[in-house]
Chains A and B, each alone.
Chain A
């Protein structure tokens, strides 16, 4: 069965510091992978997506993610965090042959301190 694990429930970083949010997936073939961001009381906004090809993908707001097949991971990174990046981040996997279903992780809440 497909699943997504985000091991970190909550992360706190200082403004200007680098950020890495972890995501591990379980799927038998090459998945489609996504990162979304959610501000309080809002819907989810797509940050970036991986379908195939280059394993390092660039997204909006200066975020990037790297797909590592050997580790079943798709970690999200940002070199320098801004206070406006404080939000909830969700990793998701879409798998071939499962209709249109996505599987979401439980999210990582990011706090940015001055």
Chain B
């Protein structure tokens, strides 16, 4: 079955450490996204990519970095510059922007906590 796989499900970060969250999709979607979810704040867009080798900052990109070297992969690195990284991170994808907007499909998320 096609879908989005996020790993790991739980991740712990030490002070000063960078950590990378994995997101892989086999839906052949062009666009991919990373969201951060905090209680009571809904989903906030970190980065998005509309095509391979291209990505754009979202609303809260500071302290995060991404790459899009392959169509199916969109890893997110939470750097030590992100002072409050504890949150639930969701990866999503969509076919692209055509005549009709298509819904985003979501992975099951990664919960990141500080040690």
Contacts and interface: CB of A to CB of B under 8 A. Distances in A.
Which residue among B41, B42, B92 has the maximum number of chain A CB atoms within 10 Å of its CB?
B42
Contact of B97 (A34, A49, A100, A104): A100
Contacts of B76: none
Interface string A93-111: 0101001111011110000
A43 B108 contact: yes
Interface residues of B, number: 30
Contacts of A46: 103, 105
Interface of A: 9, 32, 34, 36, 41-46, 49, 51, 90, 92, 94, 96, 99-102, 104-107
A43 B42 contact: no
Contacts of B4: 43
A36 to B, nearest CB: 8
A99 B90 contact: no
A99 B21 CA distance: 24
A96 B101 CA distance: 8
Interface of B: 4, 6, 31, 33, 35, 40-43, 45, 48, 50, 56, 58, 88, 90, 92, 94, 96-97, 100-101, 103-109, 111
Q: Give chain A's interface secondary structure class.
A: strand
B74 to A, nearest CB: 13
Contacts of A104: 35, 42-43
Contacts of B45: 101-102
Given A99-B50, A99-B97, A100-B97, A106 B107 contact: no
Contacts of B40: 9, 106
Nearest to B35: A104
B111 A44 contact: no
Given A9-B40, A99-B56, A41 B109 contact: yes
